[in-house]
Structure 1
């Protein structure tokens, strides 16, 4: 699965970008500043980076230059600055693309996919977690040699959690990402669907479990 590093000192922006990338099938890792981002890159393979320009200590231009010294991956700079001179600074630092805030999340995904193709890093339609393969194109879930079809919302919920294992999501985040911003039902809908998923996999060995994080929400973890 394609892993994208999101670097921004604004947690709301990180959350927004992460939710939309997770929906599109990407795994995301977050950092609140340039130093943390470089530490993450040393510890974890990332296939792309989305970097804010205006950050304390190390700005996005400086971080981009640092990434370019040691890593070959596509970089998109996000910034509120739209002046031509700022864009020039961005491209001189080594960025591949430049997107001005506010931006449409779908445009960010289009640009990211275009860069990944240029770097020959293809986004797979499959999510592999434990013994389970989730095919986001055929909507099929395969556990070892057996396959199963889930109701649409259960499938989308499972896919979303599996795309970012070990990451905790609140009920509100799951509602926004799976049911959509215009959903007017109760957040307990998430609890019902989580319970159904647990029942469906109870007597199987999927290699993962869906955990309740008390007072927060849910996360999916690999068990094998």
Structure 2
């Protein structure tokens, strides 16, 4: 299980990382929110431990950015104990909130508690006729054949199958998958969807397809037979 620890206090980060590694976790350390988001974009993360008071972008903004594309569990770590800060942390998408100082055992217990709630849902496969998408491992298979997809292609597909028969504009998909700060051409959505369609092409009968809705965007159509 891979954890992302975003904490600017080097001593605390190092101590907590060593403790969690001794508990059997694989830990990625980030000292700023920007570095944490870069790691998150590159790796498959199972849980995020996120300090609020960070240099540059703070933990609230990091949490909001992650929530645009992922429901990975997030535990906020902070020196602030005021109720409005706790409420704000939960409102932007955190799953739990722990106040410094804390014991390492408390952190471990909170991680275990969250994963007990999350893992049953992570194990549930998103399955249609012939198509299986594993959220935890980023694996896609089509009629029992593995399909290699990039991280962005997977995130597009995962978003589609969780919102079947719903039309999404290119701008919406850019915000959800690439982030609101992405300034590239919206045609990148078209090219990713084109490649995704090619990879999911089959002669077998299915009850789903990625459709282009001219003048609007795309939808993942599912026909209930």
Shorter-chain TM-score category? 0.5 to 0.7
Output the CA distance in 2 between the equivalents of 1:81 and 1:56: 16
Q: Which has the higher contact order (CA 8 A, sep 6+)?
A: 1
- 1:166-185 equivalences under 5 Å are none
Output the CA distance in 2 between the equivalents of 1:63 and 1:73: 13
Give 2:141's aligned residue: none
Give 1:83's aligned residue: 82
Q: What is the deviation of 1:121?
A: 7.0
Q: Describe the SS at the equivalent of 2:114.
A: helix
Output the CA distance in 2 between the equivalents of 1:23 and 1:68: 29
Q: Deviations over 1:23-66 (max 9, x none)?
A: 11101001111111111111111100000000121111111111
TM-score (norm 2): 0.52
Give 1:68's aligned residue: 67
TM-score (norm 1): 0.52
Output the CA distance in 1 between the equivalents of 2:57 and 2:120: 28
Going from structure 1 to structure 2, the CA distance change for 1:64 and 1:24 (only over 3 Å counts) comes to same
Give 1:11's aligned residue: 10
Deviating above 2 A after TM superposition, structure 1's stretches of 4 or more consecutive aligned residues are none
Give 1:111's aligned residue: 110
Query: Runs of 5+ in structure 2 lacking a partner?
Result: 122-225
**Is residue 31 of structure 2 the alignment partner of residue 23 of structure 1?**
no
Going from structure 1 to structure 2, the CA distance change for 1:121 and 1:80 (only over 3 Å counts) comes to farther
Give 1:194's aligned residue: none
Q: How many residues align?
A: 121
Output the CA distance in 1 between the equivalents of 2:73 and 2:98: 14
Q: Deviations over 1:95-153 (max 9, x none)?
A: 0000000001100000001111111079xxxxxxxxxxxxxxxxxxxxxxxxxxxxxxx
Mapped contact 1:47–1:121 kept (Cα < 8 A):
no
Q: Deviations over 1:175-195 (max 9, x none)?
A: xxxxxxxxxxxxxxxxxxxxx
**Is residue 132 of structure 2 the alignment partner of residue 98 of structure 1?**
no
Q: What is the deviation of 1:72?
A: 2.0
Q: Describe the SS at the equivalent of 2:27.
A: strand
Output the CA distance in 1 between the equivalents of 2:27 and 2:69: 20
- 1:160-171 equivalences under 5 Å are none
Q: Describe the SS at the equivalent of 2:119.
A: coil
Q: Describe the SS at the equivalent of 1:19.
A: helix
Going from structure 1 to structure 2, the CA distance change for 1:50 and 1:97 (only over 3 Å counts) comes to same
